[in-house]
A and B are shown apart, each in its own frame.
Chain A
Amino acid sequence: MAPISIRGLSKRYGNVLAVNNLSLDAIQGEILGFLGLNGAGKTTTIRILLDLLRPNRGNAFILGHDCQSDGIRARRNIGYLPGEMGIYSDLTGRDVLDLLAGLSGHAVNMSRRGELQERLEFPARDLHRRLREYSTGMKRKLGLIQAFQTDPMILILDEPTEGLDPLMQESFYKLLLDVKRSGRTVFMSSHVLSEVDRVCDRIALVRKGELVLLSNVEELRKLAARSVRVLFSGDVPAPAGLPAGTELIETSPQSWNLEVQGPLGPLLRVIATLPVRDIEIEEPKLEDVVLKYYRDGAR
């Protein structure tokens, strides 16, 4: 049983089809990155999972429970971080954490909360301050603590690193990897492709409400072309022909810039006979593939 399962989900706002026949599963113990441009339907999908929005068609399941007809059970084991933390500013951080832990039906695990505070560098004294005195980053940290504090089986995170400084992002990534190692499933939307590349096992990319890509990050990286720069010790003419999957981007008498999709062997065989001084190979980036999907959608 997939921790999160979405089947033929559609949601319409008037004439706008926000989510269109979306189907996907999250596998237990993985971090699934949910990507898409603004308005692609990411947040709508997340809100349907939480039964905040009602779909026009299709179903979503969490741990086998239908998010709409059996929503209470479906939400029993969820930690949720919204894109924007909407909290009354007259509450203290501690009020918020206690209330939300209580509403989760779990006793407050103070040692877990303390550990999270430590990892996210959230001083205990700040919990007694009112939220109106919090910075954006502090509110984000509080949001992360409330989502993780009950150690839920599933974490649904909407743009989790928005507003976090680089050091805190680093701590957050470590936290994510730890919860993954403990068998938790993370479903996170993000715009930060380097972050997705780094922490996600798979990505699901939505465009105009439709799933256009669902893939393992490793496999996806293989789809990306590597940049290869070959430097020569003497003048070399432009190549007459190159192996399949290799594209010449730029050439000068003493260097070639190429893009290679697939194995490098055939190219190396071609240049072996030339006076090569150096070769610079840039590893393929997930970004390159994902941006292509984004751009294709924008056209």
Chain B
Amino acid sequence: MRSAALLFVYSLKRVRTLALTAGLLLAAFQLVLIFVAGSIQSSGGFNQLSALLPPFARELLGPSVAAFMSFSGIVCLGYFQLAVMGALIALAVTLATTPASEVEIGFMDLILARPLARHWIISRTIALTIVVTAFMLALMVAGTWTGLRLFAPKGVQWPSATLVNSLAVNLGMLALCWGGVAMAIGAASRRRSVAGGAAGLLALATFLLDYVGRLWQPAQSVAWLSPFRYYNPFDLITGNALPFKNLVVLGAIALAGFATAYALFAQRDISH
């Protein structure tokens, strides 16, 4: 246990610069977004923007179009903007494939030549992925409240704390879900690029599946297979509560990924 804790601290130390830089960038993005939303709000531009939306975007947004085309909606965009989602998922995938990277460079040989059970490698990686993802989201939420305090026009309605937290929790679970998938692939891989690439491609494919499913009726029957289906920020910004089912599904995928990773890593040959 002591060795596993030591390994965790060492791993955390190695990723601290990446986590801090990415977290601060995402927090800064929240500030910029709020500044922009404040400017639009002050100039009364939300109505004009709403009118400019093309029909397909209206269809995609559905009844949430009004909620989205508001100061609060744009502030919330910081939690479902494609680049933000991509960055968080990419970071989770990167962290989750740490064992594959350690196998690849040969560091795993040195670690496992010590009296350390293999399951601690996976446990360390799960802890690392959760802690860093939570840290990133915490910085994002901090960025949102700081931005609102600094740049929100007077009298404008802020998004509620429940809404911001719900978006953050749901996004965090989505990132962990992909972390679990990547970890399962990475536990059997010799190369991080292979594991990360496979997880990334799978994420892209399922993202497109969800996207198509929202626009095209026939695709809806299989869209439930996409983890992205269980992160529906537009529902949340219209005032609906965070569906517990979404968290359960994403959490279950993450857990299944972690369990698969334990099983695969325990049995595999470590060779690079």
Residues of A within 8 A of B (CB): 47, 50-54, 71-73, 75-76, 78, 80, 82, 84-88, 90-91, 95, 99-100, 102-105, 146, 156
Contacts and interface: CB of A to CB of B under 8 A. Distances in A.
Contacts of A95: 10
Contacts of A76: 115
Interface stretch (B57-65, B76-84, B103-111, B237-245): B103-111
28 contacts: A47-B109, A50-B113, A51-B112, A52-B108, A53-B269, A54-B269, A71-B115, A71-B117, A75-B113, A75-B114, A75-B115, A78-B113, A80-B109, A82-B106, A82-B109, A84-B106, A85-B110, A86-B105, A86-B107, A86-B110, A86-B272, A88-B107, A91-B14, A95-B10, A100-B114, A103-B6, A103-B111, A105-B114
Contact of A87 (B7, B107, B267, B271): B107
Nearest to A72: B115
B97 to A, nearest CB: 14
Given A72-B115, A103-B115, 19 more contacts: A47-B270, A52-B112, A52-B269, A53-B270, A71-B115, A73-B115, A75-B113, A75-B115, A82-B110, A82-B113, A86-B106, A86-B109, A87-B105, A88-B105, A102-B2, A103-B6, A103-B114, A105-B2, A105-B115
A100 B109 CA distance: 11
A146 B109 CA distance: 13
Chain B contact patch, size range: 20 to 34
B21 interface: no
Contact of A47 (B105, B114, B116, B271): B271
Contacts of A82: 106, 109-110, 113
Interface in B93-149: 105-117
A189 to B, nearest CB: 14
Contacts of B108: 52, 86
B36 to A, nearest CB: 36
B10 A50 contact: no
Contact of B6 (A54, A91, A102): A102
Given A53-B269, A54-B267, A86-B105, A80 B3 contact: no
Contacts of B109: 47, 50, 52, 80, 82, 86
A99 to B, nearest CB: 5
A53 B10 contact: no
Nearest to B13: A95
Interface of B: 2-3, 6-7, 10, 14, 105-117, 267, 269-272
Nearest to A43: B271
Contacts of A84: 106
A103 B116 contact: yes
Contacts of A73: 115
A72 B112 CA distance: 9
Contacts of B107: 86-88
Nearest to B116: A103
A76 B113 CA distance: 9
Contacts of A52: 108-109, 112-113, 269-271
B105 A90 contact: no
A255 to B, nearest CB: 54
Contacts of B111: 103
A76 B114 CA distance: 7
A243 B242 CA distance: 97
B117 A72 contact: yes
B105 A72 contact: no
